Amino acid sequence: MRIEEWNGYKIRFVEKDGEWWAVLKDVCDALELKTWKVKQRLEKDLLLKYTLETNGGVQEMLIINEFGIYDTVFQSRKKEAGEFRYWVYEAIKSMRFAIGLEGFQVFRMLDKEHQKEAMAKLNCNLRNPVRVDFIKANTIANKAVSNKHGYSKMLKKGTMSPQMLVDREPILEDTVELISVNEKFGLGISVSKAVYQKYSS
């Protein structure tokens, strides 16, 4: 078992079959979530029972794998949730390197999941969503994060660095939210201009 600390919270990790799992209660405490609620929402293959040595003796606790951790992060409304997600990625990456496994490919997979969730949200929020709406949201997010990192031209998502992908997530979320609100209330504002101004380097 390894214990990592984030913002004063101790997160216990255990290595099982070459993967790092975290104690569900620790993750929920850090994200200010109710453990029993998160347990109900998580897919069964993302968590399991595990026996751990604790100060109170041997206890059976629920642990979640890396995908389960990120799934839990998405349920949190805590503003630091995004920071926690990146911290988890870095912590697990360092532990993964210790056993000789590469973590960047996993990060790419998780980023794709975030992309799907953002597009699903946009699809639900718009009255008559069309393909151009999704292209617009991604183009604005890509351009904004490229500007933020000092690029004069827009970088495609597939060529972005890990840090750019991390920065892109809240930008995409803001873009989706603004497009939705703009249509709902007929504000008539330029979404791209507003996003570029907020995230200018």
pLDDT in tens, 33-89: 999 999 998 888 889 999 888 887 888 999 999 889 988 988 888 888 888 888 888
Whole-number Cα distances in Å, 86 to 82, 102, 159, 188, 196: 6, 16, 19, 35, 23
185 pLDDT band, cuts 50/70/90, is very high
pLDDT in tens, 155-183: 988 778 777 888 899 999 999 999 999 99
201 pLDDT band, cuts 50/70/90, is low
CA 114 – CA 131 distance, rounded (Å)? 18
Name which of 145, 149, 197 is nearest 172 in CA terms. 145
Q: Is the pLDDT of residue 94 over 50?
A: yes
Show Cβ contacts of residue 81 under 8 Å, excluding neighbours closer than 6 positions: 31, 73, 74
Write down the domain spans for the chain. Answer: 2-98, 104-198
- Helix extents (H) in the chain: 24-31, 35-41, 66-74, 81-98, 104-125, 131-148, 162-184, 191-198
Residue 101: its pLDDT value, please? 47
